[in-house]
A and B are shown apart, each in its own frame.
Chain A
Amino acid sequence: MEKVLERKMSRRMNMRLLVNSVAKYIFLLATLFGLVVLSVLIYRVFSEGFGWLNFDFITGKLSTQPERAGIMGAILGTFWLMLVVAPVTMFLGVGTAIYLELYAKKGRLQGFIQTNISNLAGVPSIVYGILGLTVFARAMNFGNIVLAGGLTMSLLILPIVIVASQEAIRAVPNPLSEASYGMGATKWQTIKEIILPVALPGILTGAILSLSRAIGETAPLVVIGIPALLIPFPGGILDKFTVLPMQIYYWTLDSSLTAEYANLAAATIIVLLVALLLLNTTAIIIRNKFQQKH
């Protein structure tokens, strides 16, 4: 009788151990799936595009002949776009976060605004494009210039910047602001001297990560009507422009006509990936520096 139980137990034990290792491999497979797809993508992009990547390609103008085409126009377009997006989102996003966290009375209205901001972060980007088209491009008559695109992009990433900044502000230890208020500092002095300096790394990390989203975003700009083929370089925020992901999009479409356009698209993807990688690295460096300090 006892022996039977023992055998049953040992069989059960084997079964449990088996299920345990099966579970482990299922999760490993799930992880590998993403990794494999990503490496296939990177391999294809590099094998198609790396040969086309050279100084002339990066600094050159657009051309109808693939071998002579360059992406400086799109790089400058992205640059000018960021020059609008970064200050606008930093000011509006951090301002909103400061108001909601430090000034607004905790109540129904504040809760309502908070819920809406969180929901706005999930609104599809094309909807922001339509908003930008209606408000900036048409009602304010900007047309498809950098300023209109930049303001639209700012709206798109604003909820992310607000939420990240709020979290950074909330993470500032209470005793610090109490000490400041206790010395007779006004709210603004406390914010300026104590809360913002401590929260800044967190705010910057959030802002940079959301900027890298704006760099890769295409849909809102398609709606605003960014030109498909633009030869002259944009010289400022009032010029017509195109950006790197738009260039990739159009060249991928054109690749059905001439295969070389696929190589151009791949080479542009490499440039875009490097830009994103640099931004994200900056965010990580800022975050690490912050963690060492405390």
Chain B
Amino acid sequence: MTLMSEHKEAIQLRLMDNANWRKPVYETNGLNLWYGATHALKNIDLSINEKEVTAIIGPSGCGKSTYLKTLNRMVEMVPDVSISGHVTFKGKNILGKAMPVEMLRSKVGMVFQKPNPFPKSIYENVAFGPKIHGIRTKAMIDNIVEDSLRKAALWDEVKDRLHKSAYGLSGGQQQRLCIARCLAIDPEVILMDEPTSALDPVSTHKVEELINTIKNDVTIAIVTHNMQQAARISDRTAFFLNGEIIECDQTSTIFNNPTDHLTNDYINGRFG
């Protein structure tokens, strides 16, 4: 049974390679979400492709963060939430009971709007993920910590104070630490919820550079308020408005030649 489906998957993969398509990691079909009686997401169809940066843009309250949090099911922590539709991660339905959220989230990291390092040392922050997923060997954890901090371009800045509190770092460094913390569990996808909105321009630039380097290894979905940022760092862009997807295409198409006039108005700053 599993062999069969694996075989099928392999064929599908080959077909896609042939067609030079990026394989979708996440596929969303007919996703609807309500907060109580508020219809926050309406019939969302969207794929997030492997090793691409997908930017999700739109005005406040358009449902972009809600959508992102559906992808790792953090949205279910809000009381009174109800969801219908299909969201698959690598072909497996994530909304049912079949996949425990812990398993999903061990493959999908999340970076939040405000840097939220743990009140622990820099080392312990990065070691947290490997430890909770059962890695006990110190040498192994040491390796992961160094590797993740290097990938997050933070190693040189913190290598002399690994065992000092993470709260001693600047806001930008803290956010890169949070990205390193995500990388430490070797995720396939990282969800970023306006990761630079609390940072100054220099720190923002560093985080963007970081996204550019790690996207070779990991799929990224990023919600952003900053349209230039979406244009700079993303391969594809989805434009959300009032809980609906208005348009989703190559970033260059969205910014230079959008199909929908609403998209055009939004990216040109006529509303939102």
Contacts from A to B (Cβ < 8 Å)? 106, 173, 175-176, 178-186, 189, 193-194, 197-198, 293-294
The distance in angstroms between the C-alpha atoms of A63 and B103, with both chains bound, is 68
With A175-B112, A194-B118 as given contacts, are A183 and B128 in contact (CB-CB < 8 Å)?
A: yes
Whole-angstrom distance between the Cβ of A222 and the nearest chain B Cβ? 45
A185 touches B132 (CB 8 A): yes
Query: Which of A175, A183, A293 interacts with B105 by CB under 8 Å?
Result: A183
A193 touches B105 (CB 8 A): no
With A106-B79, A293-B119 as given contacts, are A180 and B102 in contact (CB-CB < 8 Å)?
A: no
The distance in angstroms between the C-alpha atoms of A181 and B106, with both chains bound, is 10
Whole-angstrom distance between the Cβ of A181 and the nearest chain B Cβ? 7
Nearest A residue to B103 via CB reads A184
A selection of 27 A-B contacts at a CB cut-off of 8 Å is: A175-B114, A176-B119, A178-B74, A178-B77, A179-B178, A180-B132, A181-B74, A181-B105, A182-B72, A182-B74, A182-B110, A182-B112, A183-B105, A183-B106, A183-B129, A183-B132, A183-B181, A183-B182, A184-B101, A184-B103, A184-B105, A184-B132, A185-B128, A185-B132, A186-B132, A189-B132, A197-B119
Chain A residues with Cβ below 8 Å from B268 are: none
Interface string of B96-122 (1 = CB under 8 A from A): 000001111111011010101111000
Chain B residues with Cβ below 8 Å from A184 are: 101-107, 129, 132-133, 185
Q: Count the B residues whose beta carbon is within 8 Å of the partner chain — how many?
A: 28
Whole-angstrom distance between the Cβ of A149 and the nearest chain B Cβ? 39
The distance in angstroms between the C-alpha atoms of A175 and B112, with both chains bound, is 8
Chain B residues with Cβ below 8 Å from A178 are: 74, 77, 112, 116
A179 touches B105 (CB 8 A): no
Chain A residues with Cβ below 8 Å from B105 are: 181-184
Main secondary structure of the interface of A (DSSP, over half): helix
A181 touches B77 (CB 8 A): yes
Chain A residues with Cβ below 8 Å from B129 are: 183-184
Whole-angstrom distance between the Cβ of A274 and the nearest chain B Cβ? 34
Chain A residues with Cβ below 8 Å from B116 are: 173, 175-176, 178-179
The distance in angstroms between the C-alpha atoms of A184 and B72, with both chains bound, is 9
With A179-B112, A183-B105 as given contacts, are A294 and B178 in contact (CB-CB < 8 Å)?
A: no
A186 touches B112 (CB 8 A): no
User: Which of A173, A176, A185, A293 is packed against the most chain B CB atoms within 10 Å?
Assistant: A185
A180 touches B109 (CB 8 A): no
The distance in angstroms between the C-alpha atoms of A170 and B116, with both chains bound, is 17
User: Which of B101, B116, B117 is packed against the most chain A CB atoms within 10 Å?
Assistant: B116
Chain A residues with Cβ below 8 Å from B72 are: 182
Query: Which of A185, A194, A197, A293 interacts with B102 by CB under 8 Å?
Result: A185
User: Which of B109, B128, B182, B185 is packed against the most chain A CB atoms within 10 Å?
Assistant: B128
The distance in angstroms between the C-alpha atoms of A95 and B79, with both chains bound, is 23
Chain A residues with Cβ below 8 Å from B109 are: 182-183
Whole-angstrom distance between the Cβ of B133 and the nearest chain A Cβ? 7
Whole-angstrom distance between the Cβ of A290 and the nearest chain B Cβ? 10
Chain B residues with Cβ below 8 Å from A294 are: 119, 167
B119 touches A198 (CB 8 A): yes
The distance in angstroms between the C-alpha atoms of A197 and B112, with both chains bound, is 22
Whole-angstrom distance between the Cβ of B77 and the nearest chain A Cβ? 7
Whole-angstrom distance between the Cβ of B167 and the nearest chain A Cβ? 8
The distance in angstroms between the C-alpha atoms of A182 and B179, with both chains bound, is 12
Query: Which of B79, B101, B104, B132 interacts with A193 by CB under 8 Å?
Result: B132
Nearest B residue to A198 via CB reads B119
Chain B residues with Cβ below 8 Å from A193 are: 128, 132
Whole-angstrom distance between the Cβ of B65 and the nearest chain A Cβ? 12
The distance in angstroms between the C-alpha atoms of A6 and B105, with both chains bound, is 76
Chain A residues with Cβ below 8 Å from B107 are: 184
Chain A residues with Cβ below 8 Å from B77 are: 178, 181
B residues 168-215 touching A (CB-CB < 8 Å) = 178, 181-182, 185
Whole-angstrom distance between the Cβ of B82 and the nearest chain A Cβ? 15
Chain A residues with Cβ below 8 Å from B79 are: 106
The distance in angstroms between the C-alpha atoms of A185 and B102, with both chains bound, is 6
Nearest B residue to A197 via CB reads B119
B residues 129-184 touching A (CB-CB < 8 Å) = 129, 132-133, 167, 178, 181-182
User: Which of B105, B114, B117, B185 is packed against the most chain A CB atoms within 10 Å?
Assistant: B105
The distance in angstroms between the C-alpha atoms of A194 and B110, with both chains bound, is 17
Whole-angstrom distance between the Cβ of A107 and the nearest chain B Cβ? 10
Whole-angstrom distance between the Cβ of A188 and the nearest chain B Cβ? 10
Nearest A residue to B104 via CB reads A184
Chain A residues with Cβ below 8 Å from B101 are: 181, 184
Interface string of B23-52 (1 = CB under 8 A from A): 000000000000000000000000000000
The distance in angstroms between the C-alpha atoms of A106 and B167, with both chains bound, is 33
Whole-angstrom distance between the Cβ of A200 and the nearest chain B Cβ? 11
Nearest A residue to B130 via CB reads A183
Chain A residues with Cβ below 8 Å from B110 are: 179, 182
Nearest A residue to B120 via CB reads A197
Chain B residues with Cβ below 8 Å from A182 are: 72, 74, 105, 109-110, 112
Whole-angstrom distance between the Cβ of A194 and the nearest chain B Cβ? 6
